[in-house]
Amino acid sequence: MSQAPKYELAAEAAYAQGPPQSVGRVLWRRFLKHRLALGSLIALVLLVLAALAAPLAEAVSGLDANKVDLLGRFLPPTAEHWLGTDELGRDLLLRLLYGGQVSLLAGLAAALCSAVIGTALGLLAGYYGGSLDAFLMRLADGVIALPLLPLLIVLAAVDLTKLGLPEAVATSEDVSFYRIVILISIVGWTTVARLVRGATLSMCSREFVRAAEALGAGGPRIMLVHILPNVVSPIIVATTLSVGNIILLESVLSFLGLGIQPPIASWGNMLTGAQELIWSDPALAVWPGLLIFVTVIAFNFLGDGLQDALDPRAIQE
């Protein structure tokens, strides 16, 4: 009777090697293996913390991020101004931190809005199909096919008072932030919508969805309760990857003078005047761009790592 147990199935054999691990732990372990993604996550957390600490840094150093000092322009790094001052004598480090708040928030907000719009449209297209599906997917094709940057420039140049917005709203300082988030969401929903539509289509023929239908669940309930939880991972990956692209797009528009408007600082608009300054103070042109670059590449690595961790085809290794 001392015969070793024989395992009939690979699954049983795998089970015998130890208790099953929760899905979350497996995913986390696979994510940890992706060192670039992990490093990127740490870098991003540090960047966000630094940007959030801007008011604190302002209070501790006794400097004011928006105080113009025409006698102290283009200062090299000193004990007071760690990265020196810009063309108006403002502290560069503080402006970078405040600019980071705006750029990061704009990127995250626009990515989130795009994801929500894309998920909703993708679910509708995939679940109801038919002419709604055809229309939405043609629309997505059309948006993807167009030369986006010139069209975004026109959209960003539109005079909001001509759209019937009250003067006070159209000229307030914050409006450039909301405008850019809305503009990017209008064009940014397509990737998520296509992914969700595809995933929804394959879910619709699965037993649990058919069972829910047989039990009399309505369309909205099936989409939100049964399908959505099963299509979350492609949404997370696509959204993470889109944050980088969106921060890049925001910086381009702000750089061209059509995104975030001064006096609000963003990493993009801090570079607007830099092209004229490269002869006098190249450092001013280097720092904001470096931060955009680091942030965007970190989001891309993070998305790439998440994709590997969440990809069901990669499970067997």
Partner 1 sequence: MTRFIVQRLAESFIVLLIMSFVIYGLIGLMPGDPIDLMITADPKLTPEDQARLRALYGLDKPIVERYFNWLSAAASGDLGYSRVHARPVLDILLPALGNTVWLMGLSFVLALVIAMPAGIAAALRPQSASDNAINLLAFAGISIPPFWLAILLIILFAVVLGWLPAGGMGEPGLASKLQHLALPVVTLTLVTVGGIVRFVRAAMMEALRQDYVRTARAKGLSARRVVLGHVLRNAMIPVVTILALNFGALFSGALITETMFGWLGMGKTIYDSILGNDFNLALVGLLFATLTTLLANLLADVTYAWLDPRISYK
List residues near partner 1 by CB under 8 A.
Answer: 142, 144-151, 153-155, 157-159, 162-163, 244, 248, 251-252, 255-257, 268, 271, 274-275, 278-279, 282, 285-286, 288-290, 292-293, 296-297, 300-301, 304
Q: How far is the CB of 246 from partner 1 (least distance, A)?
A: 12
- Measure the CA–CA gap between 44 and 294, rounded to whole angstroms: 9
Q: How far is the CB of 178 from partner 1 (least distance, A)?
A: 17
| Contact predicate 106/266, CB 8 Å | yes
Pick the closer one to partner 1 by CB: 4 or 145.
145
Q: How far is the CB of 89 from partner 1 (least distance, A)?
A: 22
| Contact predicate 95/50, CB 8 Å | no
Pick the closer one to partner 1 by CB: 108 or 120.
108
Q: Buried (b) or exposed (e) across 279-296, using 16+ Cβ within 10 A?
A: eebebbbebbbebbeebb
Pick the closer one to partner 1 by CB: 13 or 146.
146
**Measured between alpha carbons, how far is residue 166 from residues 161, 169, 172, 175 in Å?**
6, 5, 10, 12
| Contact predicate 137/197, CB 8 Å | yes
| Contact predicate 84/283, CB 8 Å | yes
Pick the closer one to partner 1 by CB: 98 or 287.
287
Number of Cβ atoms within 10 Å of the Cβ of 316 = 5
Q: How far is the CB of 244 from partner 1 (least distance, A)?
A: 6
Pick the closer one to partner 1 by CB: 118 or 244.
244
Q: How far is the CB of 256 from partner 1 (least distance, A)?
A: 7
